[in-house]
Amino acid sequence: MKISILDDYFDTLRTLDCYRKLDGYDVKIWNDHVQDVDALAERLRDTDALVLIRERTQIRTPLLERLPKLKLISQRSVYPHIDIDTCTRLGIIVSSSQHADTPSYATAEFTWGMILAAMRAIPQQMAALKAGKWQIGVGHTLRGKTLGIYGYGRIGAVVAGYGKAFGMNVLVWAREPAMAKARADGYETSASKADFFARCDVLSLHMRLVDATRGIVKAEDLARMKQTALIVNTSRAPLIEPGALVNALRAGRPGMAAIDVYEKEPLRDPADPLLNMDNVVCTPHLGYVSRDEYEIQFTDIFDQILAYTAGTPTNVVNPDVLAHPDVLAHARPRG
C-alpha cells in the first residue's frame, strides 16, 4: 500500500517514535505546501492512503475525482477542509480521531503564552530593543483580572486552570452542559453572552469549528468589549464573522488581539491587516505544533492506517462509505 503525507514542513514525522508504525509500507512525504489541483493530482495519483496534517491542504471534489486509487484519508480533529460527501460517493474512508480522551496541552500552553506575550507586549518590546530602543510602553498584569473562556471543553478547561493559577477571576460562557461542568469545577458562568463580552479583560475562544459555531462571534459582541481587553484565538478563524475582528480592533474595542489562526492558511501576505497592527500579536498556527503533540496525534493517525489495513477501520466519520462494495478491497497488510 502506498501512503502519502502532505505538508510536513520540517520533515519532522520520520523522526517521531510513532513513525515506526509505518515500517514496511511505501511512504512518500512532501515537505512543501501545494494547493494546485493539477500538482496534487500528479503527486497523489498512486496513493492508497493519504495522511493530512490538520487543515493545511484542502481536499475538495475536483481533486478527489482524479484520485481513483485513494481509499483512505487518515487525520486527526475536525475536517472542514475535506469534501466528506464526495469521499463517501467515491468509496474513500475518512478516519479522524476527535481526541476525546485528552486535551491538546500544547495548544493550551501556547494559548497562555500568547496571553502573556500580548498583555506585556513582549514581541513589540523585543522588536524595539533590536532596533535600538529601550522600553516602548507599559504592559498589563493578569492577577485580579477576568479571564473569559468561551467554550468550556477540554482545552478551555485547561486554560481556565492556568488563569486560576495566575490569580485571575475565571468567567465561562458556553452551551449549558459545558457551563454546568464549569460551575461544578468551581468557575463562575455568565448570565448572558452580552454580559460575558462586556466583563472580560482577556477572552479566549475554545470551540470546534462546525456549522453551529461558524461566525458565532459577531461584530456587536466585540463592540461590547473593554478598550483595554484582549481577545485570543488559537482555535479557528471562522469562529469570528468575516471582517469583524479587524474592524473591531480599528475601532478600539477590544484594544488588543492575539491570533494564531486565519481565514486562509498559510498566511503569506505581509500586507494582511492583522500583521500590521501594533496591538496584535500574530503567530503562524503554532498551537498544536510541538514534538510531544505530534507524537500523540500521529500515533492516532498511523493507528487508523493499521486498522484500515486490518480490515477494521476506526474513527470513520463517513460510516455510509462502508456500504460501498469495494471499500476495503485495497486494505492489506504491509508490503
285 counts as catalytic: yes
Question: Among residues 154, 265, 293, 330, which one is catalytic?
Answer: 265
Question: Among residues 54, 199, 206, 285, which one is catalytic?
Answer: 285
Residue-level pLDDT at 69: 97
Residue-level pLDDT at 101: 67
Residue-level pLDDT at 325: 77
HEC sequence for 80-130: CCECHHHHHHHCCEEEEECCCCCCCHHHHHHHHHHHHHHHCCHHHHHHHHH
199 counts as catalytic: no
Question: Among residues 54, 206, 224, 236, which one is catalytic?
Answer: 236
Q: Which residues of the chain have pLDDT under 50?
A: none
Residue-level pLDDT at 102: 75
154 counts as catalytic: no
Cα-trace Rg, the chain: 22
Q: How far apart are CA 11 and CA 31, in angstroms?
A: 6
For residues 69 and 48, is the Cβ–Cβ distance under 8 A?
yes
Cβ-Cβ contacts under 8 Å for 108 (sequence gap 6 or more) = 155, 158, 159, 162
For residues 36 and 13, is the Cβ–Cβ distance under 8 A?
no
Cβ-Cβ contacts under 8 Å for 227 (sequence gap 6 or more) = 252, 253, 254, 255
Q: How far apart are CA 197 and CA 150, in angstroms?
A: 9
Specify the DSSP class assigned to residue 161: H
Residue-level pLDDT at 335: 53
